[in-house]
A and B are shown apart, each in its own frame.
Chain A
């Protein structure tokens, strides 16, 4: 019954995109639509003395200017139900104090985007600037507080604290102390955020078309901030131009647009510009790790202690809270390695910078980088082969399911097999000879590895351990066959480039014995789908797809029952395949599935009671999570004259269990690796000491192009997951998780002969020459 799962099916989504007929939020503005532009703080820390909108109201084309006071000072508050967490309110428009440069304080609504910007320029705000907390060091010092009374530490979690560790460190043959850092980065989807809100008198709803990964959470956020029931808000995600986490939190601007549309009773659109996207939208990955690790003489890790500090910016994002990075890091640091004794403290510090949110990988690019660097450091100090030391530490075949010191159970993976295959593939492909050749040409060259797993598809059994007041995890699908035998599937997940319209159809088609073209996915509309948690955290195929598979299976059972009745055979003998309900072992007896659907709908009275009244089912999935895994290798060159670092060849051996569509899986891997290379070599959001953003354009924030990203070769292993309806494991983030460590190891391999070693990303050309 797997005619379609596993097939390289071209995507249903492609056609409309290629024809220029995609429908993104910005494409939906109509003639009567008003345009919003936000007035934003030019200071990282300031008190608002006054806001004078009178001149702005006089600007040609401006219809309205609204401040937080005008809107009743709406706010959102994300809560983690832990004593170690300090909740903070995030006003939708700041009214008394701004905490980062670019924070919104007013919105100007005008007849077009040009006039709206003219109006925003004309708003006069009287600021009184205050001291700035620009980084973790200043936050720790706490001479100034971003939120009064918090000491700047908004979350402080000691997740594990093995009392044996001091003794282990004192007596181990090798103890390594190191500090690792990763820069603040932006997810930078090509479509920035965008929202069009309009009041619908017929439905008594504000309809919010918004570029989001999480339609239901956005509805909840708008309803909570504005104090209205959820049914009076409808959130629709049309085509969404990438998210990578930036759109998995509720934006203040989304709430403000909804409020403005309710007041004005006109459609209002806001299309974030790139400067806003780089300064006012969320960031991620700004972390530092102070780590101590002990190894025995053979390179086996004996103990690990980490002090993890995350710069979370000015506010806790809704609904995930600012704990998302420190929690993930402290919980999952050991990764694929068998660490016998562990301590981790994870803290989140408020600074006068834009808030951080989950960005593709969420702390795992950093923790993998820490572990992979530790392995290489230990190997170098002990004279052990840098690849082989991983084999001595990783969870091996026969040891699954493995429950780690961090209380996480790792389901079956191919950690060793993927490393072995990677090493084999790059050797066969002549990488080592190529490295020698580059060195002869006067370049520095190196090869780096990274072995990791990626915990995916967190259901509430796992998410609940975080103790979020809003705990995501489950998802619900509805499958409904129409009288012509075709199917509409709804899901609470909300794809935005991952090809869900195609892959969900493949899953459902196999269950029902029909063609994927006969299956249409409806997603991203809170009125059409059951409450669900959207698309993030590599969850959609396992949870959303799992629910869809279950629901389709239920409908298939109904079809079999109907067929059994009409064909006068046993239900268990009915097979649904290639559009027909056939009878096992009886090739000539069958009924088209479309005929079954017709009878169920149009002549349902002819059927026994249990077969009547439609063909539909609603099912949920809520798995504990499953680990995909991969090994990455990269060949880099370093130009000793300019410091330029280039990734030249990239190899991935990945295992995400049952592959639904190899085309899509490869695309996710390649795109993820590109973002990982970007984080390792190019991208960083920077500020000066006054908290002023200094990477505010794509001239300063260097998203790599086809000129920088090298070809990426991919090989697959398939170890099915027992925790997943379809055997699949999530895999949307793995590329981004593994690549930075591999690149950093390769750079260090290239520079080893110069006695240079880096433990931070990005490594810039300037670092090489310093």
Chain B
């Protein structure tokens, strides 16, 4: 499992061995890979303290604070052929090196939720540099792509020395920047099995572009005004994207349903407290944001 230190202040303050204030990364060796097999071979040779460097929008910030101290980086940004969105047998495949900005500006029928949700990712320059696969590998519990892969029951496609394997997103995120990827494996693409025309993601942060305090995503299958199936996934309420156990099947698609679903979702979560909000506040946000995500999904 890939493990990063947590970039939250509270964690740092417990780490009394670290003197204050570093912003320059610790030394590492830099390696460039030109294809996937090359990456895997280099990772194997460099050992478990080596990390993959893609867009670097999370990793480099953590390295600047020396919260992440990989011994080596394998830069995969020059690998060709991993920057794509491809319709495939009703579903969608997204290459690991696809920039957030590309997803934002590419409208795919049935997957509009992806381009809309991309707007919530950081800021424009972050979206121009950060990659889809990098975000999944980082595994932040509030990250939009992590939530949506769980919501849409996507498959994370990994390649490693033992070959290629697919892990369901629902089993991929193990909490606080830990994922099912082994240190010698690389995410090559993400496969969304079926469209989700009625899906939405919404979130709240005090300041535009910040990590969500709480993020809520919802997917519905609708027949006229009746809900056939529903799925709700939350971020910011626990160490990994949280699937809410609320089944709206058979209920009417209306405000009352959304409000009740929000309340029900809030009742299920026990979010942590930090400087951006207490657990109690996150529960209230959950109720509001779930209702809003459902309403947007149904619209």
Q: Which of B20, B26, B207 contacts A280 (CB 8 A)?
A: B20
Cβ–Cβ < 8 Å partners of B22 in chain A: 37, 117, 120-121, 273, 275
Q: Which of B9, B12, B25, B207 contacts A702 (CB 8 A)?
A: B207
Q: Is the interface of A mostly helix, strand, loop or mixed?
A: loop
Q: Is the interface of B mostly helix, strand, loop or mixed?
A: loop
CB distance from A116 to the nearest CB of B (A): 8
Q: Which of A37, A694, A765, A769 contacts B13 (CB 8 A)?
A: A694
**How distant is the Cα of A280 from the Cα of B19 in the complex, in angstroms?**
12
Known: A40-B20, A117-B22, A705-B208. A688 touches B13 (CB 8 A): yes
CB distance A642 to B9 under 8 Å? no
Cβ of B78 < 8 Å from any Cβ of A? no
CB distance from B152 to the nearest CB of A (A): 25
Cβ of A118 < 8 Å from any Cβ of B? yes
CB distance B284 to A769 under 8 Å? yes
Cβ of B21 < 8 Å from any Cβ of A? yes
Cβ of B219 < 8 Å from any Cβ of A? no
Cβ of A695 < 8 Å from any Cβ of B? yes
CB distance from A253 to the nearest CB of B (A): 12
CB distance A42 to B206 under 8 Å? no
* Least CB separation from B18: chain A residue: A42
Cβ–Cβ < 8 Å partners of B207 in chain A: 682, 702, 704-705, 707-708
Which parts of B257-299 form the interface with A (CB within 8 Å)? 275-278, 280-281, 284-285, 288-289, 291-292
Cβ–Cβ < 8 Å partners of A692 in chain B: 13
CB distance B292 to A38 under 8 Å? no
Cβ of B175 < 8 Å from any Cβ of A? no
Known: A693-B9, A695-B9. A120 touches B19 (CB 8 A): yes
CB distance B281 to A705 under 8 Å? no
CB distance A705 to B209 under 8 Å? yes
Binary B-proximity of A14-49 (CB < 8 A = 1, otherwise 0)? 000000000000000000000001111111000000
CB distance B206 to A765 under 8 Å? yes
CB distance B285 to A102 under 8 Å? no
CB distance A123 to B20 under 8 Å? no
Known: A276-B20, A641-B288. A693 touches B210 (CB 8 A): no
CB distance from A208 to the nearest CB of B (A): 21
**How distant is the Cα of A42 from the Cα of B23 in the complex, in angstroms?**
16
Which parts of A663-682 form the interface with B (CB within 8 Å)? 681-682
Q: Which of B17, B27, B211, B288 contacts A642 (CB 8 A)?
A: B288
Cβ–Cβ < 8 Å partners of B284 in chain A: 643, 769
Cβ–Cβ < 8 Å partners of A642 in chain B: 204, 285, 288-289
**How distant is the Cα of A380 from the Cα of B118 in the complex, in angstroms?**
46
Number of interface residues of B (CB under 8 A): 38
Cβ–Cβ < 8 Å partners of A102 in chain B: 20-21
Cβ of B10 < 8 Å from any Cβ of A? yes
Cβ–Cβ < 8 Å partners of A40 in chain B: 19-21
Cβ–Cβ < 8 Å partners of A118 in chain B: 26-27
Cβ–Cβ < 8 Å partners of A571 in chain B: none
**How distant is the Cα of A42 from the Cα of B12 in the complex, in angstroms?**
10
Cβ–Cβ < 8 Å partners of A690 in chain B: 13
Cβ of B24 < 8 Å from any Cβ of A? yes
Cβ–Cβ < 8 Å partners of B288 in chain A: 641-642
Cβ of B16 < 8 Å from any Cβ of A? yes
Cβ–Cβ < 8 Å partners of B291 in chain A: 641
CB distance from B91 to the nearest CB of A (A): 34
**How distant is the Cα of A37 from the Cα of B66 in the complex, in angstroms?**
15
Cβ–Cβ < 8 Å partners of B208 in chain A: 705, 707-708
**How distant is the Cα of A123 from the Cα of B12 in the complex, in angstroms?**
18
CB distance A43 to B281 under 8 Å? no
**How distant is the Cα of A325 from the Cα of B85 in the complex, in angstroms?**
58
CB distance from B261 to the nearest CB of A (A): 14
Q: Chain A interface: which size bin?
A: 35 or more
Q: Which of A113, A121, A700, A704 contacts B19 (CB 8 A)?
A: A121
* Least CB separation from A706: chain B residue: B208
* Least CB separation from B210: chain A residue: A699
Cβ of A11 < 8 Å from any Cβ of B? no
Cβ of A101 < 8 Å from any Cβ of B? yes
Q: Which of A40, A113, A117, A120 has the most CB of B within 10 A?
A: A117
Known: A704-B207, A705-B208. A693 touches B19 (CB 8 A): no
Cβ–Cβ < 8 Å partners of A770 in chain B: 280-281
CB distance A696 to B204 under 8 Å? no
**How distant is the Cα of A705 from the Cα of B22 in the complex, in angstroms?**
25
CB distance from B234 to the nearest CB of A (A): 15
**How distant is the Cα of A273 from the Cα of B18 in the complex, in angstroms?**
16
Cβ–Cβ < 8 Å partners of B211 in chain A: 699
Binary A-proximity of B57-96 (CB < 8 A = 1, otherwise 0)? 0000000011000000000000000000000000000000
**How distant is the Cα of A708 from the Cα of B207 in the complex, in angstroms?**
7
Cβ of A766 < 8 Å from any Cβ of B? yes
Binary A-proximity of B120-156 (CB < 8 A = 1, otherwise 0)? 0000000000000000000000000000000000000
Binary B-proximity of A696-737 (CB < 8 A = 1, otherwise 0)? 110110101101100000000000000000000000000000
**How distant is the Cα of A641 from the Cα of B10 in the complex, in angstroms?**
28
**How distant is the Cα of A643 from the Cα of B204 in the complex, in angstroms?**
10
* Least CB separation from B262: chain A residue: A641
Cβ of A644 < 8 Å from any Cβ of B? yes
CB distance from B277 to the nearest CB of A (A): 6
Cβ of A520 < 8 Å from any Cβ of B? no
* Least CB separation from A766: chain B residue: B281
Cβ–Cβ < 8 Å partners of B275 in chain A: 686, 694-695, 700
CB distance A766 to B210 under 8 Å? no
CB distance from A454 to the nearest CB of B (A): 28
Which parts of A102-125 form the interface with B (CB within 8 Å)? 102, 113-114, 117-118, 120-121, 123, 125
Cβ–Cβ < 8 Å partners of B12 in chain A: 696
Q: Which of B20, B27, B210 contacts A275 (CB 8 A)?
A: B20
Known: A695-B275, A699-B211. A275 touches B23 (CB 8 A): yes
CB distance from A25 to the nearest CB of B (A): 16
Known: A642-B285, A694-B9, A769-B281. A42 touches B16 (CB 8 A): yes
Binary B-proximity of A637-655 (CB < 8 A = 1, otherwise 0)? 0000111100000000000
**How distant is the Cα of A705 from the Cα of B25 in the complex, in angstroms?**
27
CB distance A702 to B10 under 8 Å? no
CB distance B278 to A41 under 8 Å? no
CB distance B20 to A702 under 8 Å? no
Cβ–Cβ < 8 Å partners of B280 in chain A: 770
Known: A766-B278, A766-B281. A707 touches B19 (CB 8 A): no
Known: A38-B21, A39-B19, A280-B21. A644 touches B204 (CB 8 A): yes
Cβ–Cβ < 8 Å partners of A114 in chain B: 24-25, 27
Cβ of A414 < 8 Å from any Cβ of B? no
Cβ–Cβ < 8 Å partners of A43 in chain B: 16
CB distance A702 to B210 under 8 Å? yes
Cβ–Cβ < 8 Å partners of B210 in chain A: 699, 702
Cβ–Cβ < 8 Å partners of B25 in chain A: 114
Cβ–Cβ < 8 Å partners of A694 in chain B: 9-10, 13, 275
**How distant is the Cα of A125 from the Cα of B19 in the complex, in angstroms?**
10
Binary B-proximity of A270-301 (CB < 8 A = 1, otherwise 0)? 00011110011000000000000000000000
Cβ–Cβ < 8 Å partners of B278 in chain A: 766
CB distance A274 to B10 under 8 Å? no
Can you offer 9 A-B residue contacts whose CB atoms are under 8 A? A38-B21, A117-B23, A274-B23, A276-B20, A280-B20, A692-B13, A699-B7, A765-B204, A765-B281
Residues in chain B within 8 A of chain A (CB atoms): 7, 9-10, 12-13, 16-27, 65-66, 204, 206-211, 275-278, 280-281, 284-285, 288-289, 291-292
User: 5 extra interchain contacts, Cβ-Cβ under 8 A, other than A642-B204, A642-B289, A681-B206?
Assistant: A38-B21, A43-B16, A113-B24, A275-B23, A694-B9
Residues in chain A within 8 A of chain B (CB atoms): 37-43, 101-102, 113-114, 117-118, 120-121, 123, 125, 273-276, 279-280, 641-644, 681-682, 686, 688, 690, 692-697, 699-700, 702, 704-705, 707-708, 764-766, 769-770
User: Which A-B residue pairs are the 9 nearest by beta carbons?
Assistant: A707-B208, A641-B288, A692-B13, A40-B20, A273-B23, A766-B281, A275-B21, A114-B24, A276-B21
